[in-house]
């Protein structure tokens, strides 16, 4: 332009249309790459780490109010908790004697069968930092990340059972998809008869589904589903859901059981992340860290 001798009177960048084109192409390619591959995760992590101080900053008033509230409520809370715990202790005393008996018996049987001893699970207690406002997914963001030993793939539980699975981790935060998220599938079994199934995030909100059941499968409303331990991400024996009803499709020959999760991610702020060995299960069956530990029942 200057070579032709014209004088630039006004500072002017590229035209608005050109800028729009650049940004639209950039956004679309980001969308495409992010929805198909995981190469953008480091960038997302970097931005997320940069965002973290701001997130903590704006949430500081809430946290302060909660801590003050908690301090004032502490006395009454302690009283009610004490009563509840006392009651629980009496109930548990019976159960624990029974459990001790069973454990001894189990050890004996395991030794007879040459099955290796079950290791107790290490865990990290986490608190919900915030719930991402996203219309498509049911996720929670926790206040601890890879610096506390959390890795993608680890299960998240509360006292009701499985809450979800960690899918993304930054140094200080971690993101978990809830049980009801479409991305999640959990190998489970029916507590009553040991039927192995896979529990999928439901198409209806707040529910999970057991798909690919044959029409004559022995599963009835009221059945409890627990994790089977197949696949390696979820340790065996965690409560998952209770079956509400069965939808049998005579045409396809398959049935779907709709179940309600037994955990309550919407009620509490504290959860437990089980530090299962995600590398081992990955190596053993090449499942994606975020994806489903998929195995056929």
Partner 1 sequence: MVRHPTNHKPAAPGLGKSSLSSLEPIDSAPFRRPSSGVFVWGTILLVWLFSLLPWRLWQPTPDLLLLVIAFWCLNEPRRVGMLTAFIFGLLMDVHDAGLLGEQALVYSLVAYGAITLTRRLQHFNPVVQAVHMLPVVVIAEGLSSLVHAWLASEWAGWGWLWSALFTVVLWPLADILLHLPQRRQEEIDSGAA
Give the binding site for partner 1 (CB under 8 A).
16, 19-20, 23-24, 26-35, 40, 43-44, 47-48, 51, 54-55, 57-59, 130-137, 139, 141, 168, 175, 182
Q: Which of residues 28 and 84 has its CB atom nearest to partner 1 in the complex?
A: 28
Whole-number Å distance between alpha carbons of 115 and 236: 14
Radius of gyration over alpha carbons of the chain, in Å? Answer: 25
- Count the neighbouring beta carbons within 10 Å of the beta carbon of residue 242: 17
Shortest reach from residue 46's CB to partner 1, in Å: 9
Q: Which of residues 167 and 246 has its CB atom nearest to partner 1 in the complex?
A: 167
CA distances from 87 to 83, 84, 158, 159 (A): 6, 5, 20, 17
Q: Where are the beta strands (DSSP E) in 99-183?
A: 123-130, 139-142, 155-158, 161-169, 174-178
Q: Which of residues 175 and 282 has its CB atom nearest to partner 1 in the complex?
A: 175
Shortest reach from residue 245's CB to partner 1, in Å: 24
CA quadruple 221, 155, 188, 160: dihedral sign: negative
Shortest reach from residue 44's CB to partner 1, in Å: 6
Shortest reach from residue 18's CB to partner 1, in Å: 10
Whole-number Å distance between alpha carbons of 128 and 9: 55
Vertex 268 angle, CA 60 and 176, to 5°: 80
Q: Which of residues 33 and 74 has its CB atom nearest to partner 1 in the complex?
A: 33
Q: Which of residues 20 and 103 has its CB atom nearest to partner 1 in the complex?
A: 20
Shortest reach from residue 217's CB to partner 1, in Å: 28
Q: Which of residues 4 and 134 has its CB atom nearest to partner 1 in the complex?
A: 134
Chain centroid to Cα 129, Å, comes to 14
Here the tokens at position 233 are: 């991400």
Q: Which of residues 114 and 134 has its CB atom nearest to partner 1 in the complex?
A: 134
DSSP run (H or E) holding 213: strand 208-214
Largest Cα–Cα distance in the chain?
Answer: 96
Whole-number Å distance between alpha carbons of 123 and 275: 5
Here the tokens at position 68 are: 């003050």
Shortest reach from residue 175's CB to partner 1, in Å: 6
Shortest reach from residue 295's CB to partner 1, in Å: 24
């Amino acid at each position: 332009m200057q070579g032709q001798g014209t004088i630039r009177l006004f500072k002017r960048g590229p035209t608005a249309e050109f800028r729009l084109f650049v940004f639209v192409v950039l956004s679309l390619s980001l969308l495409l790459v992010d929805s198909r591959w995981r190469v953008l995760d480091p960038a997302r992590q970097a931005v997320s780490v940069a965002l973290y101080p701001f997130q903590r900053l704006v949430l500081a008033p809430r946290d302060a109010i909660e801590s003050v509230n908690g301090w004032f409520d502490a006395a009454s809370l302690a009283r009610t908790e004490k009563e509840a715990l006392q009651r629980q202790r009496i109930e548990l005393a019976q159960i624990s004697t029974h459990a001790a008996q069973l454990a001894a018996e189990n050890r004996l049987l395991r030794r007879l069968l040459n099955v290796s001893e079950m290791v107790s699970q290490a865990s990290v207690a986490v608190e919900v930092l915030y719930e991402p406002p996203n219309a498509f997914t049911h996720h929670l963001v926790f206040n601890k990340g890879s610096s506390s030993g959390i890795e993608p793939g680890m299960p998240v539980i509360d006292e009701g059972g499985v809450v979800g699975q960690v899918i993304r981790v930054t140094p200080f935060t971690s993101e978990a998809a809830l049980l009801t998220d479409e991305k999640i599938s959990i190998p489970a079994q029916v507590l009553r008869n040991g039927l192995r199934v896979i529990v999928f995030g439901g198409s209806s909100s707040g529910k999970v589904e057991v798909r690919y059941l044959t029409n004559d499968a022995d599963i009835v409303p009221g059945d409890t589903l627990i994790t089977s331990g197949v696949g390696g991400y979820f340790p065996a024996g965690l409560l998952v859901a209770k079956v509400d009803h069965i939808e049998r499709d005579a045409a396809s020959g398959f049935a779907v059981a709709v179940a309600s999760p037994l955990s309550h991610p919407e009620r509490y702020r504290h959860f437990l992340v089980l530090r299962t060995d995600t590398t081992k299960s990955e190596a053993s069956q090449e499942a994606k860290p975020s994806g489903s530990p998929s195995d056929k029942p």
